[in-house]
Amino acid sequence: MKTDRILKLMKFLFWLIFIALCFNAGSLIYILFKGKYVSLEGSKSIYVDPDLFDHSELRTTWYYISIILITTLLALKAYIAYLVTKIFTKVDFNNPFNTTTAKLLIKISRIALVTGVLVVTINSLYMWLNNKALVDILMKPYEEGSGEFLFLAGVIFVIAQIFKKGTEIQSENKLTI
């Protein structure tokens, strides 16, 4: 009963996280189009500020690359949250060891790995831009936590493999007469 309540709460939280991340990604897409078709100067967000980019010829290019990378990152995080909500809808907690859940867990670990690599890429890009003086020194790396994402991807992958093995053993037991 306690577990059921916790799982319901987790399901609700992950739906909230998914909606929030979708909203963030959508707002960045809006800012991207606003910057392109209206005015770059008014296109600020909490993630990227065009004023912090050096006023060079490639300013717009780097600004757009940053927005696209961060939007992709938010979309990936939203997808991970969506896959977790999918576990809650698809899994039968009376019989949890099935191939669907194992596949979902493996998928989550792969997406988490890609997300971690993307965060590393964004951080490296910002550091490179900083070194080349193409962005303001005040502009910090997008997110510290790329290592944590990669660590999390590894942990989820191991859990997914154990789950997959459990599914195989359960299936074999079911077909033992």
Partner 1 sequence: MPIIVNLDVMMAKRKMSLNELSEKVGVTLSNLSILKTGKAKAIRFSTLEAICKALNCQPSDILEFVSDS
Interface positions with partner 1 (CB under 8 A): 171-172, 175-177
94, 127 contact by CB (below 8 A): no
Q: Which of 100, 98, 106, 105 is nearest to 171 (CA)?
A: 98
> Residue 76 Cβ, how far from partner 1 at the closest point, in Å?
38
Cα 168 to Cα 112: distance, rounded to the nearest angstrom: 24
> Residue 83 Cβ, how far from partner 1 at the closest point, in Å?
30
Cα 27 to Cα 23: distance, rounded to the nearest angstrom: 6
User: Residue 55 carries which side chain, given as an amino acid letter?
Assistant: H
In the bound state with partner 1, the residue whose beta carbon lies nearer, of 95 and 171, is 171
In the bound state with partner 1, the residue whose beta carbon lies nearer, of 4 and 172, is 172
Cα 150 to Cα 119: distance, rounded to the nearest angstrom: 10
In the bound state with partner 1, the residue whose beta carbon lies nearer, of 137 and 177, is 177
In the bound state with partner 1, the residue whose beta carbon lies nearer, of 60 and 170, is 170
> Residue 173 Cβ, how far from partner 1 at the closest point, in Å?
9
